[in-house]
């Protein structure tokens, strides 16, 4: 890292952590804006529940468990860093990445089924929001997978120091993406 | 009073104009006071030989009150403007005085399609009459206008009536006015609506009661 | 720190905040030239409709719409933001808080290059088939949501993409600004010893970061409508056109302050230095700034009084809008009070600071008209609004920008600018700015709509045409008036007299670094003993007292 970035901080909190929190704050407003738009437009018109009934609830439920489990493995990865156990760190990063990819694969399968049934993004306003919100969320999951892959390569090449706070920062982001899904799931599937 | 606006021919236009002048006097006074003070200070306190600036951080309440008290005055004047504004808004947009004349204006790129209800007074019946860009109304009578759009957002602007209302596709928005003076006035579109936005224009014909009756007879000759 | 970096790392892929600031400035100035050109073309067309523009040719109505769209987009997102926020924020934050660089220097470099990419995308959009975006800088759907309505295909897609990249760039920049200010302050630099421009910059960063999110979501929806066939904004598919307006203006009003606050910050730095007097009411100004920032989140629907939203919503928004004048009034009063019993030196930066103040007052006052819902019925979408926002944004971007650049030029480039050319530039700009935009208010009150290519198509506007011609002549002269600045800027960079460390005898920390500061800024990290505006303090014998000068040896020892 650049030497200037590692100087003693005025607050005692690592700069990276402050940066990630600010980043998440603005991310909240992105999804907050999307979700608020969904609620407002939905309240102003009808026919949404009928469209939502065509969604594959059981697959989405499985996906919710996949994502929740990945949050758990991410926490365990962080615990491994804290404990200085590089091998366990690798294992849990791998698991998190695999679970993230599983989530994306199931999501893609879901999209495929819906498009085959004629529910394309242009099939109506519910479908616009469905594809918009879950698509943006999926892109965030993909981003998280890439971040975790970078960390995994860093551990494989021995670049990751014990006590490395980058895993914690990646974890903050990963949990955020998870929480977004916790909002999207009931809003889209359970209404 | 300078005549900046186009001639007002609406029953509520005068109230909008007088609210404008109220704000103009208040802000005008502030403009003169602040800019005058700046110019005065610039001349009076320019750098001169041997002069030293005062040390006035303005942090104590006593000092800061020099800027806090004027702010309270600003707040009071703001609220005055708000209350006057609320009254005018309630009259223009709050509700609509009843009327039996309802005309539908459908905007499209780049024309106004104006549909008259005809003698039965109802829109959507066989005796409706469609005219492009020509809006005929009687003076001294409340007119309701149903605003619809076929494509993008347009804005129905009647400068002389101090009326402007955006037209949103997918919605029916109703506006009203009462013209006071017969004549011919323009209806420009005030919202960017595509390459033909400039020049999207219609005509408002305000008739006297007799002229209007005559116009109605010409349009629907079979009716009595 | 002492390692020698090659050409690429020094000038292009630099992580030095000062170099990055200059990169933003260069790109911002280049875009300003394009923005000026669009203004010239539009003004000519408005004054002499359908005649050949000298040096260009005829302007078709759809090309005029593109000019309108690009002028707004470029000036707001590609001139005002990179210059006011990115240039001055990057240059000043580490120097003024006593840090060696930003908290994340490589992220900072990335921010710039994402911005450069956004610029490239916007530039490319001019040359794609169908032309550049032409749905207004506000891009209201359905006009912007379907290619059929404008005839513009990829132009608008690239326009959305360029804006999205620009937002990402400034999000990363904002994270850097905030983290740096929170974490890298020098010893003794408490939050209430920060120079006001730093307060303005970080407030602007917070406003941007918390307001842009919904618009990013909105932009995703718009792009999906255009490319994937969704119907977020298309009523025929159950969509809601007004949704975009809410998302856009929820961002749009804080965005105005994202531009305005750094501009006011430059005035607040320049004014005490050339008045030799502390800024009047340091803390009240900070509290006002925060109050205005919070209020800016609940005023957005004042852009939509007549948009078709529920008319009952208008008055609450009208009230919050008009009340936002109170915190800004306080800042203006504080500036005026700073001049009282001062010792005013009319240098070029001071002239521009005073120009900003006097112009901004008028822009603020005309805002009261716009904020009043009933008045807005008539003046909405007229040139009165255009005149209003040029008074506020031109004052912040150009008057304050010139105040900033002439004030910190010695620190940026190690040389002094020419005062005579600077004063000529100021007076020409000040005169022709007012000559251009004061008449524009009256054209607007006469009813002239924004974004029409030819006022002569309307009977009721024909009598205003001489005024339009006068505005155009003055606008062209205003553009020509920028030549002395360009000459002065380029000439001084090479030939200006060498600047000392602290040519203005100012108090803030950047002046205790060498001119220009080397990579790493300070020989030793300064220690801060006091607030930033201790001019003419009774404690000192001179009329200035830098933040990092210990008054007694024991005070220095304690730190």
Judge whether residue A2 has pLDDT over 50.
Answer: no
Residues of A in contact with C218 (CB under 8 A): 33, 37
Q: What is the model's pLDDT at position A95?
A: 96
Task: Give mean pLDDT, residues B208-223.
Answer: 91
Task: Give mean pLDDT, residues C349-370.
Answer: 97
Size of interface A-C (CB pairs under 8 A): 142
Judge whether residue C305 has pLDDT over 60.
Answer: yes
Largest CA distance in chain B: 95
C-alpha–C-alpha distance, residues A134 and C307, integer Å: 30
Decide if C212 and A40 are in contact by the 8 Å CB cutoff.
no
Residue C3 sits at the vertex; the CA angle it makes with C2 and C7, to the nearest 5 degrees, is 120
Is residue B85 within 8 A of residue C375, CB to CB? The reply is: yes
The beta-carbon contacts of A95-102 under 8 Å, at least 24 apart in sequence, are: A95/A70, A96/A70, A96/A148, A96/A174, A97/A145, A97/A148, A97/A149, A97/A152, A99/A66, A99/A67, A99/A69, A99/A70, A99/A73, A100/A70, A100/A141, A100/A142, A100/A144, A100/A145, A100/A148, A101/A145, A102/A66
C-alpha–C-alpha distance, residues C319 and C299, integer Å: 9
- Does residue A111 lie in a domain region? yes
C-alpha–C-alpha distance, residues C44 and C52, integer Å: 9
- Does residue A9 lie in a domain region? no
Residue C345, number of CB atoms within 10 A of its CB: 14
Rg for chain C, CA atoms, rounded: 24
Task: Convert the pLDDT of each residue in A150-177 to its tens digit.
Answer: 999 988 887 666 557 889 999 999 999 9
Is residue A130 within 8 A of residue A55, CB to CB? The reply is: yes
Is residue C178 within 8 A of residue A18, CB to CB? The reply is: yes
Q: What is the 3-state secondary structure (H, E, C) of C246-288?
A: HHHHHHHHHHHHHHHHHHHHHHHHHHHHHHCCCCCCHHHHHHH
Query: Considering CB atoms only, which of B67, B85, B168 is closest to C333?
Result: B67
- Architecture in CATH for domain C21-554: Up-down Bundle (1.20)
Is residue C62 less than 8 Å (CB to CB) from chain B?
yes
C-alpha–C-alpha distance, residues A50 and A36, integer Å: 21
Residues of C in contact with B92 (CB under 8 A): 374, 377
Sign of CA dihedral A124, A125, A130, A131: positive
Q: What is the model's pLDDT at position B2?
A: 54
At residue B1 the predicted structure's pLDDT band, cuts being 50, 70 and 90, is very low
Residues of C in contact with B56 (CB under 8 A): 277-278, 280, 337, 340-341
Q: Sketch the domain layout of chain C as residue ranges.
A: 21-554
Q: What is the model's pLDDT at position C100?
A: 95
Is residue C314 less than 8 Å (CB to CB) from chain B?
yes
Mean pLDDT over all residues of chain A?
Answer: 90
Residue with tokens 């024909």: C462
Which C residues, 191 through 230, put their C-beta within 8 Å of a C-beta on chain A?
Answer: 209-218, 220-221, 224-225, 228-230
CATH number of B102-219: 2.60.40.420
Q: DSSP letters along A15-51, please?
A: HHHHHHHHHHHHHHHHHHHHHHHHHHHHHTS--HHHH
Q: Where are the beta strands (DSSP E) in C408-492?
A: none
Task: Give mean pLDDT, residues B106-120.
Answer: 94
Residues of C in contact with A9 (CB under 8 A): 183-184
**Nearest Cα to B116, choosing from B134, B95, B142, B99?**
B134
At residue C343 the predicted structure's pLDDT band, cuts being 50, 70 and 90, is very high
Which C residues, 461 through 520, put their C-beta within 8 Å of a C-beta on chain A?
Answer: 520
At residue C317 the predicted structure's pLDDT band, cuts being 50, 70 and 90, is very high
| Alpha-carbon torsion angle B68, B73, B77, B83, nearest 10 | 80
Is residue C495 within 8 A of residue C391, CB to CB? The reply is: no
Please provide residue C223's backbone torsions phi and psi, each rounded to the nearest 5 degrees. Answer: -65, -40
Which C residues, 8 through 27, put their C-beta within 8 Å of a C-beta on chain A?
Answer: 15
Q: Sketch the domain layout of chain B as residue ranges.
A: 13-94, 102-219
**Nearest Cα to B16, choosing from B93, B97, B98, B99?**
B93
Mean pLDDT over all residues of chain B?
Answer: 94
ipTM above 0.90, yes or no: yes
Q: Which whole-number Å values give the CA distances from B185 to B133, B157, B158, C461, in the listed order?
A: 12, 11, 8, 12
Q: What is the model's pLDDT at position A1?
A: 35
Judge whether residue C24 has pLDDT over 80.
Answer: yes
Query: Considering CB atoms only, which of C106, C217, C225 is closest to A33?
Result: C217
Token pair listed for C396: 């912040």
Judge whether residue A114 has pLDDT over 80.
Answer: yes
Decide if C333 and B173 are in contact by the 8 Å CB cutoff.
no
In chain A, the number of structural domains is: 1
- Does residue A5 lie in a domain region? no
Task: Convert the pLDDT of each residue in B17-54 to its tens digit.
Answer: 999 999 999 999 999 999 999 999 999 999 998 888 99
At residue C557 the predicted structure's pLDDT band, cuts being 50, 70 and 90, is low
Q: Which whole-number Å values give the CA distances from A173 to A138, A147, C296, C533, in the listed order?
A: 14, 10, 28, 41
Decide if A2 and C210 are in contact by the 8 Å CB cutoff.
no
Rg for chain B, CA atoms, rounded: 26
Residues of C in contact with B88 (CB under 8 A): 374
What's the domain range around A170?
15-189
In C74-153, alpha helices (H)? 88-97, 105-125, 147-150
At residue C452 the predicted structure's pLDDT band, cuts being 50, 70 and 90, is very high
Q: What is the model's pLDDT at position C546?
A: 95
| Alpha-carbon torsion angle A134, A140, A146, A147, nearest 10 | -150
- Does residue A59 lie in a domain region? yes
Q: What is the model's pLDDT at position B78?
A: 96
Judge whether residue A5 has pLDDT over 80.
Answer: no
Burial of residue C12 (CB within 10 Å: 0-12, 13-18, 19+) is: middle
Question: Coil, strand or helix: which one is C395?
Answer: helix
Task: Give mean pLDDT, residues C264-287.
Answer: 96
Decide if C345 and B47 are in contact by the 8 Å CB cutoff.
yes
Is residue B197 within 8 A of residue C449, CB to CB? The reply is: no
Q: Which residue of C has its CA nearest to B94?
A: C311
Task: Give mean pLDDT, residues C423-452.
Answer: 97
At residue A47 the predicted structure's pLDDT band, cuts being 50, 70 and 90, is confident
Is residue C188 less than 8 Å (CB to CB) from chain A?
no
Task: Give mean pLDDT, residues C60-64.
Answer: 94
Task: Give mean pLDDT, residues C544-557.
Answer: 80
Judge whether residue C255 has pLDDT over 60.
Answer: yes
Token pair listed for C57: 């040719």
Q: What is the 3-state secondary structure (H, E, C) of C504-534?
A: CCCCCHHHHCCCCCCCCCCCCCCCCCCCCCC
Q: What is the model's pLDDT at position A4?
A: 40
Whether the link from the prior residue into B110 is cis, omega within 30° of 0, is yes
Q: What is the model's pLDDT at position C79?
A: 97
The better pLDDT of the pair A84, C180 is held by C180
- Does residue A3 lie in a domain region? no
Residue A139, number of CB atoms within 10 A of its CB: 13
Residues of C in contact with B183 (CB under 8 A): none
C-alpha–C-alpha distance, residues C198 and C289, integer Å: 12
Q: What is the model's pLDDT at position C425?
A: 98
Decide if A37 and C243 are in contact by the 8 Å CB cutoff.
yes
Is residue B15 less than 8 Å (CB to CB) from chain C?
yes
Q: What is the model's pLDDT at position B3?
A: 75
Query: Considering CB atoms only, which of C176, C210, C238 is closest to A29?
Result: C210
Residues of C in contact with B42 (CB under 8 A): 339, 344, 346, 354
Q: What is the model's pLDDT at position A165?
A: 82
Is residue A11 less than 8 Å (CB to CB) from chain C?
yes
Task: Give mean pLDDT, residues C338-357.
Answer: 97
Residues of B in contact with C453 (CB under 8 A): 197-198
Query: Considering CB atoms only, which of C182, C213, C238 is closest to A45?
Result: C238
Q: Which residue of B has its CA nearest to C328?
A: B71
Judge whether residue A8 has pLDDT over 80.
Answer: no
**Nearest Cα to A125, choosing from C79, C401, C238?**
C238
Q: Which whole-number Å values give the CA distances from C306 to B164, B204, C247, C381, C385, in the listed order?
A: 7, 20, 17, 10, 14
CATH number of the domain to which A100 belongs:
1.20.120.80
Question: Coil, strand or helix: which one is B105?
Answer: strand
Burial of residue C190 (CB within 10 Å: 0-12, 13-18, 19+) is: exposed
Decide if B41 and C344 are in contact by the 8 Å CB cutoff.
yes
Is residue A125 less than 8 Å (CB to CB) from chain C?
yes
Least confidently predicted of A1-5, A17-21, C333-337, C555-559: A1-5
Judge whether residue A10 has pLDDT over 90.
Answer: no
C-alpha–C-alpha distance, residues C417 and C420, integer Å: 9
At residue C551 the predicted structure's pLDDT band, cuts being 50, 70 and 90, is confident
């Amino acid at each position: 890292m650049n030497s200037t970035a590692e100087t003693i901080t005025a607050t005692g909190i690592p700069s990276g952590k402050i940066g990630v929190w600010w980043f998440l704050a603005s991310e909240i407003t992105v999804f907050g804006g999307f979700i608020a738009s969904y609620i407002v437009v939905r309240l102003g018109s009808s026919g949404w529940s009928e469209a939502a009934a065509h969604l594959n609830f059981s697959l989405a439920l499985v996906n919710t468990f996949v994502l929740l489990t990945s949050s758990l493995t991410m926490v365990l990865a962080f615990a491994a860093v804290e404990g200085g156990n590089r091998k366990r760190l690798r294992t849990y990063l791998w698991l998190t990445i695999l679970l993230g990819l599983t989530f994306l694969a199931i999501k893609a399968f879901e999209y495929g089924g819906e498009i085959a049934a004629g529910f394309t993004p242009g099939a109506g306003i519910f479908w616009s929001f469905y594809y918009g919100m879950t698509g943006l969320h999926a892109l965030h999951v993909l981003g998280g997978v890439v971040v975790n892959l970078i960390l995994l390569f860093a551990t494989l090449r021995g670049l990751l120091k014990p006590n490395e706070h980058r895993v914690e920062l990646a974890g903050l982001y990963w949990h955020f993406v998870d929480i977004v899904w916790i909002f999207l799931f009931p809003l889209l599937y359970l209404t | 009073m300078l005549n900046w606006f186009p001639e007002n021919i609406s029953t509520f236009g005068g109230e909008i104009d007088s609210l404008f002048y109220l704000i103009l006097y208040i802000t005008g006074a502030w403009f003169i006071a602040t800019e005058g003070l700046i110019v005065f200070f610039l001349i009076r306190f320019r750098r001169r030989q041997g002069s030293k600036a005062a040390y006035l951080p303005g942090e104590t309440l006593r000092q800061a009150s020099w800027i806090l008290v004027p702010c309270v005055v600003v707040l009071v004047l703001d609220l005055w403007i708000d209350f006057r504004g609320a009254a005018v808004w309630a009259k223009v947009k709050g509700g609509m005085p009843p009327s039996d004349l309802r005309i539908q204006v459908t905007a499209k790129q780049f024309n106004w399609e104006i549909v008259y209800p005809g003698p039965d007074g109802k829109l959507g019946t066989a005796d409706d009459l469609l005219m492009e860009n020509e809006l005929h109304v009687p003076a001294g009578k409340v007119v309701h206008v149903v605003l619809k759009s076929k494509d993008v957002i347009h804005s129905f602007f009647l400068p002389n009536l101090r009326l402007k209302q955006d037209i949103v596709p997918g919605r029916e928005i109703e506006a009203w006015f009462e013209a006071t003076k017969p004549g011919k006035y323009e209806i420009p579109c005030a919202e960017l609506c595509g390459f033909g936005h400039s020049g999207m224009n219609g005509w408002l014909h305000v008739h006297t009661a007799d002229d209007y009756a005559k116009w109605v007879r010409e349009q629907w000759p079979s009716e009595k | 720190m002492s390692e020698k970096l090659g050409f690429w790392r020094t000038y292009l892929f630099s992580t030095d905040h000062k170099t990055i600031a200059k990169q933003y400035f260069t790109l911002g100035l280049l875009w300003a030239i394009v923005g000026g050109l669009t203004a010239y073309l539009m003004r000519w067309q408005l004054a002499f409709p359908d005649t050949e523009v000298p040096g260009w040719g005829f302007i078709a109505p759809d090309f005029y719409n593109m000019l309108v769209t690009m002028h707004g987009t470029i000036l707001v997102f590609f001139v005002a933001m990179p210059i006011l926020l990115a240039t001055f924020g990057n240059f000043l934050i580490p120097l003024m808080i006593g840090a060696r660089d930003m908290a994340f220097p490589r992220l900072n470099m990335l921010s710039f290059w994402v911005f450069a990419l956004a610029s490239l995308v916007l530039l490319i959009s001019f040359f794609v088939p169908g032309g550049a975006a032409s749905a207004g800088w506000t891009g209201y759907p359905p006009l912007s949501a379907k290619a059929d309505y404008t005839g513009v295909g990829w132009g608008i897609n690239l326009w959305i993409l360029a804006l999205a990249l620009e937002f990402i760039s400034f999000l990363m920049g904002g994270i850097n600004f905030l983290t740096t200010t929170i974490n890298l302050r020098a010893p003794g630099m408490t939050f209430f010893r920060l120079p006001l421009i730093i307060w303005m910059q970080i407030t602007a960063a917070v406003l941007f970061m918390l307001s842009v999110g919904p618009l990013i979501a909105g932009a995703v929806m718009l792009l999906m409508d255009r490319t994937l066939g969704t119907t977020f904004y298309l009523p025929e598919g159950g969509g809601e056109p007004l949704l975009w307006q809410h998302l856009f203006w929820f961002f749009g009003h804080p965005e105005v302050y994202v531009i305005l606050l750094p501009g006011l910050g430059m005035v607040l730095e320049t004014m005490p230095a050339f008045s030799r007097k502390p800024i009047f009411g340091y803390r009240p100004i900070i509290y006002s700034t925060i109050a205005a920032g919070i209020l800016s989140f609940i005023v957005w629907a004042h852009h939509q009084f007549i948009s078709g939203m529920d008319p009952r919503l208008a008055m609450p928004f009208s009230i919050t809008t008009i009340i936002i004048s109170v915190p800004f009034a306080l800042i203006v009063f504080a500036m005026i009070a700073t001049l009282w019993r001062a010792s005013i030196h009319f240098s070029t930066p001071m002239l521009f600071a005073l120009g900003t103040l006097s112009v901004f007052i008028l822009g603020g006052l005309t805002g009261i008209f716009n904020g009043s819902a009933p008045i807005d019925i008539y003046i909405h979408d007229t040139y009165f609004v255009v005149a209003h926002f040029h008074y506020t944004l031109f004052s912040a971007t150009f008057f304050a920008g010139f105040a900033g650049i002439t004030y910190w030029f010695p620190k940026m480039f190690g040389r002094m600018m020419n005062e005579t050319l600077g004063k000529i530039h100021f007076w020409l700009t000040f005169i022709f700015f007012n000559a251009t935009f004061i008449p524009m208010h009256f054209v607007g009150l006469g009813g002239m709509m924004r974004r029409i290519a030819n006022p002569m198509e309307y009977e009721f506007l024909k009598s205003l045409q001489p005024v339009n011609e006068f505005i155009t002549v003055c606008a062209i002269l205003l553009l020509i008036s920028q030549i002395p600045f360009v000459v002065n800027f380029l000439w001084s960079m090479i030939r200006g007299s060498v600047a000392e460390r602290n040519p203005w005898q100012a108090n803030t920390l950047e002046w205790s670094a060498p001119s220009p500061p080397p990579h790493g800024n300070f020989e030793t990290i300064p220690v801060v003993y006091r607030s930033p505006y201790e001019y003419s303090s009774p404690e000192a014998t001179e009329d200035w007292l830098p933040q990092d000068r210990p008054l007694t040896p024991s005070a220095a020892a304690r730190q």
